[in-house]
Structure 1
Amino acid sequence: MTDLNRLFRKRIGYPENETITFEALKTVLEKAAVTIPFENLSIITKNTKEITRENLIEKLLVNNEGGLCYELNPLLYFFLVESGFDARLIRGEVFNNEKNAWSDLGRTHVAILLNHDGETYLIDSGFGGNLPLIPVPLTGEIVTSRNGEFRVKKEETDFGDFILEMKLKNKHSNWNIGYAFDSKHPVSHVCEFDEIQSILIHKEESPFNKRPLITQLTKNGNKTLTNTTFTKMVDGISTKEEIDSNGFNEYAKLHFGMEL
C-alpha cells in the first residue's frame, strides 16, 4: 500500500485492511465529504504550490488542510487508481444559477470519470456543498443521496458533451445546473491544474480570491465559515452567527479542525 493510499484512509477514517469495491465508493465519498473541507485559504494567504501528487499529499494528508476542486479531486483520483479503478480526470465549466449564465472563468472545475462494468460514472469530491456523495451514471438516471438528487444529461455545450444537474435537499425545488464537462478530452497530467489555480488567484471574476471560505458537509447538514459569518445547517434548519476577523481562526480550529 502506498503512502497516499494509507494516509488517505487515515484522513477519512477508512480501515487499511478493507478492499475498496465499487459498492464501497459511496462510503468513501461520504467520509471524505465530512472530513476534508472545501476551502480557499492558500489562495487568500498567497501560499499556493504547484499541483503535484507529492504537494497534494503534503497539503491534504500530512498537514490536514482542505482545498478546492483542482486539489480534492486529483487526490481522490490518485487514490482510486491505486485502489484498482479505471478513472480519469476531466475539466468542466460551472453554471451560475443566480445569473442564469455560465461562469466567466472557463473550464476551471475538476471532476472524475470512472468506468465500471461497462458503465461510466461521474465522481466529485470537490464541489463544495453540492456533492452527490455517490457515483452518478452518465445515462441520465437520477440517483439520490442524503444531499439530494443528481443526474448527468448528455447535452452538447461549448464546454463539453455532458451536464450535471442537481436538486439539493432543503435548497432546490427544481433541477439546477451544476456544471458542463467534457468526457472526450481527459486531463493528461495534473500540471494542467496550475493554470486553473492561476485563474482562480488572479481573475477578477474568481469567487475564491476575495475572502476566506471554509465549507464542509456534516452528518446531518453542512457548515460554512467566512471572515464575517459562521452558518450551520442541521436537519434542514439554518442558523447564522456573525463573527469578527479575530474569530475566524478560532472557528476554523473549533469547527473544521484547521490550525491557522
Structure 2
Amino acid sequence: MDALTSQFLHRIGRSGSSITFDELSDVLEAAAWAIPFENISLLAHGTREITLASLMNKIIARREGGLCYELNTLLYFVLLENGFDVQLTRGSVYDHASQHFALSGRTHVTIILTRNDDCYLVDTGFGGNLALRPIPFSGTPVFSYNGEFRVRKAGTEHGDHILELKLKHKDTDWKLGYAFDSKSVLPDLREVNKVQQIIAEHPGSKFNQKPLVTQLTKDGSMTLTESSFTVWKNGEMTKEPVDTETYKQLLGKFGLY
C-alpha cells in the first residue's frame, strides 16, 4: 500500500497500511474523533484548489479539519487506494429550521461504496450527524453510539435516495438528513472544486459567514462558534458563552491553532 493510507491512519490514531471493509466502521469512528468538521481555513484564506496533494497537506500534514468536500474527498482517495469500488456524489442537506433543502443546492459531497453488488453510503463529512458506519441502500438501519441511520430510495428533485437519522439523546423520530443522486457521480475533482466555490460564495451558504467547528467525542460531541461552546456528554448538554480570547483557546480542544 502506498503512503496515503499509512499517513491517514496515523493521522486518526491508528496503525497499519491498509483498510478492509470489516475495519471501515472503526476507521470512521477514529476519523470522527480525530478530524474536526470546520470552516476556519475557508474563512481565513478563501478557496484553494482541491487536489489529493492539497488535502494531504491540509488535513494530514497540517492536521487541520475541513468541510464535507474535503473530508469525504480525502477518504475517497484512501478507500480507492485500498481497492474499494467508490464514487463521489453530491447531495442537498435538509434544513430543519427553515423546513426546506439548503439554499446553496447540492453542495454536500459524499461517498457511494459498492461491494458484492450492494451499495453503501459512507460519510465522514456531515458534522455531528455521522453514522460512523457504512449505511446500506437496502433501507436496513445501522446503529452506532451516535444514533440510528438508514438510506431509503425516494424520488426527490434533489436525488433518488435520502439519508435519515435519529441522533442518540436528541431525536425520537426519523428525520431527513440529505437527499442525494446515486446515478449522478462526480467524474473528477472539478465538480468538488465547484462545490467549494458555491459554499464560499453563495449567500445561502452556512459556511461562509461565521466560524464553526464541531467534532464527535467518545461520549458525545463538542461544537464551537464565535459566541458559544456546546458540549454533549453522555446525553447531557452544557453551553457556555465565549469571548474572542476564550474562542482562540478553545480551538486547541479540536487540535487547531
Task: Give deviations 1:51-76, integer Å, cap 9, x for gaps.
Answer: 11110000000000000000000000
Q: Contact 1:121 / 1:136 at 8 angstroms: preserved in 2?
A: yes
Alpha carbons 2:47, 2:200 under 8 Å: kept: no
125-134 vs 114-123, which moves further: 114-123
Residue 6 (1) aligns with residue 6 (2): yes
SS in 2 for 1:58: helix
In structure 2, distance between residues paired with 1:191 and 1:56: 14
CA distance in 2, matches of 1:14, 1:81: 18
Q: Displaced runs of 4+ in structure 1, greater than 2 A?
A: none
Deviation at 1:46, TM superposition (A): 2.8
Distance 1:188 1:247 in 2: 43
1:194-209 equivalent positions in 2, closer than 5 A:
194-209=193-208
Query: Aligned letter for 2:98?
Result: K
**SS of equivalent to 2:185:** coil
| 1:77 match | 76
User: What residue is the counterpart of 2:106 in the other structure?
Assistant: 107
Cα distance in 2, alignment partners of residues 238 and 137 from structure 1 = 31
Show the counterpart of 1:25: 24
What CA RMSD, in Å, does the superposition of the two structures yield over aligned residues?
A: 1.1
Alignment match, 1:66:
65
TM-score (norm 2): 0.97
Q: Look up the equivalent residue of 2:159 and give its one-letter code.
A: G
Taking the aligned partners of 1:47 and 1:204, their CA distance within structure 2 comes to 15
Secondary structure of 1:178's counterpart equals strand
Give the Cα separation in 2 of the matches to 1:33 and 1:251.
18
Question: What pairs with 1:53-202 in structure 2 (closer than 5 Å)?
Answer: 53-202=52-201
Shift of 1:3: 2.6
TM-superposed CA distance for 1:10, in Å, is: 0.6
Are the aligned partners of 1:50 and 1:191 in contact in 2 as well (CA < 8 Å)?
no
Whether 1:214 aligns to 2:198 is: no
- Equivalenced residues, count: 257
Aligned to 1:49: 48
Question: Match for 1:34: what amino acid?
Answer: W
Alignment deviations for residues 87-131 of structure 1 (CA, whole Å, 9 cap, x no partner): 111110111122221111111001101111221100000000000
Work out the CA distance in 1 between the residues paired with 2:104 and 2:40.
19
Q: Distance in 2 between matches of 1:47 and 1:64?
A: 18
What is the percentage of aligned positions where both structures have the same residue?
Answer: 47
Q: Distance in 2 between matches of 1:20 and 1:4?
A: 12
Q: Matches of 1:143 and 1:244 in 2, distance apart?
A: 39
- Show structure 2 runs of 5+ residues with no match: none
Partner of 2:243: 244
